[in-house]
Amino acid sequence: VSECLFCRISAGELPADFVYQDDEVVAFLDIQPQAPTHLLVVPRRHVSGLDAVESMEAGELGNLLKVAARIAGAEGLNGSGYRVVVNTGPDAQQSVAHLHIHVIGGRQMRWPPG
């Protein structure tokens, strides 16, 4: 049994509020939402983060972003806009070592981020 939190969520061993699932990707609500819409798009296959990108096929990575954009649209964010974020490593405060794309929207955001 994997001890990785997002592996366990994607396997259904831990609960989450799923908004999307297919054979390769799951998406669920972030437990600590930073905006009215805050979802995480996660590959089922364990990849520790974007810094492990060389272990991924380009299509696998591209598909994740495509799913993120589709979900943002399905959540009604295409007009108002949204932000996708991949925190990578300590300076970016990545806290879960399984690649995930944040999809954040539903409020005005600042740039640059803090």
Residues that bind ligand DGP (CB under 6 A): 5, 16, 28-32, 40, 87, 93-96
Q: What is the largest CA-CA distance in the chain?
A: 42
Known active-site residue 100: yes
Let me know: does 96 contact 43? Beta carbons within 8 Å: no
What are the backbone dihedrals phi and psi of residue 26, each rounded to the nearest 5 degrees, phi first?
A: -125, 155
Tell me which of 38, 46, 98, 100 is the catalytic residue.
100
DSSP 76: T
Residue 11 per-residue DSSP state: T
- Closer to ligand DGP by CB, 7 or 77: give it: 7
Query: Closest approach of Cβ 33 to ligand DGP, in Å?
Result: 8
Minimal distance in Å, beta carbon 41 to ligand DGP?
12
Q: Are 28 and 39 in contact (CB under 8 A)?
A: yes
Least Å from the CB of residue 62 to ligand DGP: 20
Minimum CB distance to ligand DGP smaller for 79 or for 91: 91
* Active site residue ranges: 100
